Amino acid sequence: MDTALFDYVRVLYAEEAVNVLAQYGEQAAVLAGGQSLIPQMSLRSSIPHVLVDLGQAIDLRAIEAHRDHVVVGAMVTHSMIEDGLIPDPMTGMLSYVAHGIAHRGVRNRGTLGGSACWADPCADWPTALIALDATVMALSPDGRRAIPMTAFYPDAFVTALGPAEIATALTVPRGSKLARWGYYKVTRTVSESADAIAAVVFDPERDVSRVVLGGLKCPPVILTDLADELRRRRPGADALKLDACKAMIEHVPALRDLNLHNYAFALGRALRSAFVS
Ligand SMILES: Cc1cc2nc3c(=O)[nH]c(=O)nc-3n(C[C@H](O)[C@H](O)[C@H](O)COP(=O)(O)OP(=O)(O)OC[C@H]3O[C@@H](n4cnc5c(N)ncnc54)[C@H](O)[C@@H]3O)c2cc1C
């Protein structure tokens, strides 16, 4: 199906985009890589009257390397991350996650900010960025603010952004030399949503231990008890077995009524990558 008719505005700066959004209110939507929005517009599940194209907004592609964190512009594509064109904050985790997204055509156009803001619980970046304790840098006509990824998703497909507010960048803390991570996604084909995702980030030097499950019906869930347990002791071989992983997650409310198998499998693989390999 064709999209409904819409007006098209191409902006050169993030500030211009939020001014246009403020002018048109809920009738306007920003376009990043279009890999999620355009299919929805074709299905007429989304019918913006004004499309604000961020593609030429050079400030949204900025990349900054700082001593303790990296800033990645919202319009940086999955391919750029996959190809290592941004400084690596966590020994290859970002490029690994990017490489697992769909196929190269989607990765060439799809963006980090677009994926974070689409807020699909089955997408890769929401789970990975929560595990990495990333922060969304946001801009609205009222100014700039920072929103931790842990507070960015009130619900599935919903973000904490206000009506005329956009994500300008994501900041990702740098891991120490001792940092370890694991990431595993269960999916049938590259074009399908993930059935389960698990991400583990463990960095004793920064006192960081985080385990996140994604691919749920709700936003990604942080498993704090398990993360605390990992602080106390590393998982032995028995803890990585499927039944042991099922036992670790069977009490999680977000998993009630779901088949635990895929989540337990993903968790076991992510823990293995972080602690064994
Ligand atoms: C065949 C196929 C397979 C896919 N497989 C995967 C996969 O395996 N894993 C995965 O994670 N994803 C997958 N995707 C989704 C893909 O990663 C998209 O790139 C991503 O979801 C959206 O990014 P985008 O830049 O295309 O955003 P768009 O589609 O342009 O926008 C998405 C939404 O975010 C909003 N938005 C965009 N940028 C901003 C911003 N800076 N500030 C505020 N709001 C913004 C838009 O208004 C829109 O509502 C797949 C897509 C396709 C078509």
How many other C-beta atoms can be found within 10 angstroms of the C-beta atom of residue 176? 13
Q: Give me the domain span that covers residue 160.
A: 60-173
**pLDDT given for residue 192 in this prediction:** 81
**pLDDT given for residue 239 in this prediction:** 85
Pocket probe for ligand 1: among 6, 106, 127, the residue whose CB has the most ligand atoms within 8 Å is 106
Phi/psi of residue 143, nearest 5 degrees: 125, -160
The minimum-distance atom of ligand 1 relative to the CA of 32 is: 30
- For the stretch 243-252, pLDDT in tens is 999 999 999 9
- Taking CA atoms, 179 is separated from 55, 130, 135, 173, 196, in Å, by 34, 16, 19, 11, 24
**pLDDT given for residue 193 in this prediction:** 85
Do 145 and 186 belong together in one domain? no
The minimum-distance atom of ligand 1 relative to the CA of 38 is: 29
Q: Is residue 39 part of a domain?
A: yes
C-alpha 114 to ligand 1 mean position (Å): 5
Do 218 and 154 belong together in one domain? no
C-alpha 113 to ligand 1 mean position (Å): 8
**pLDDT given for residue 76 in this prediction:** 98
Q: What is the CATH number of the domain that holds 258?
A: 3.30.390.50
Ligand 1 contacts CB of residue 115 (under 6 A): yes
Q: Is residue 32 part of a domain?
A: yes
The per-residue pLDDT of the chain, averaged, comes to 96
Ligand 1 contacts CB of residue 117 (under 6 A): yes
Ligand 1 contacts CB of residue 18 (under 6 A): no
Do 210 and 152 belong together in one domain? no
Phi/psi of residue 228, nearest 5 degrees: -65, -40
Q: Which residue has the tokens 């209110």?
A: 25
Q: Is residue 2 part of a domain?
A: no
**pLDDT < 50 positions in the chain:** none
Do 128 and 190 belong together in one domain? no
Q: Is residue 1 part of a domain?
A: no
C-alpha 206 to ligand 1 mean position (Å): 31
Ligand 1 contacts CB of residue 274 (under 6 A): no
The minimum-distance atom of ligand 1 relative to the CA of 46 is: 49
Q: Is residue 237 part of a domain?
A: yes
Calculate ∠ Cα 61-30-51, nearest 5°. Answer: 125
Q: Is residue 102 part of a domain?
A: yes
Of 152, 173, 194, at which residue does a domain stop? 173
Ligand 1 contacts CB of residue 48 (under 6 A): no
Q: What is the ipTM of this complex?
A: 0.99
C-alpha 117 to ligand 1 mean position (Å): 8
Do 217 and 268 belong together in one domain? yes
Q: What is the CATH number of the domain that holds 35?
A: 3.30.43.10
**pLDDT given for residue 55 in this prediction:** 98
**pLDDT given for residue 98 in this prediction:** 98
Do 71 and 143 belong together in one domain? yes
Of 119, 149, 173, at which residue does a domain stop? 173
Q: How many domains does the chain have?
A: 3
Q: Which bin fits 35, alpha (ψ -120 to 50), beta or left (φ > 0)?
A: alpha
Ligand 1 contacts CB of residue 136 (under 6 A): no
One-letter amino acid of 161: L
Of 146, 173, 200, at which residue does a domain stop? 173
Q: Is residue 75 part of a domain?
A: yes
Ligand 1 contacts CB of residue 106 (under 6 A): yes
Calculate ∠ Cα 194-92-222, nearest 5°. Answer: 50
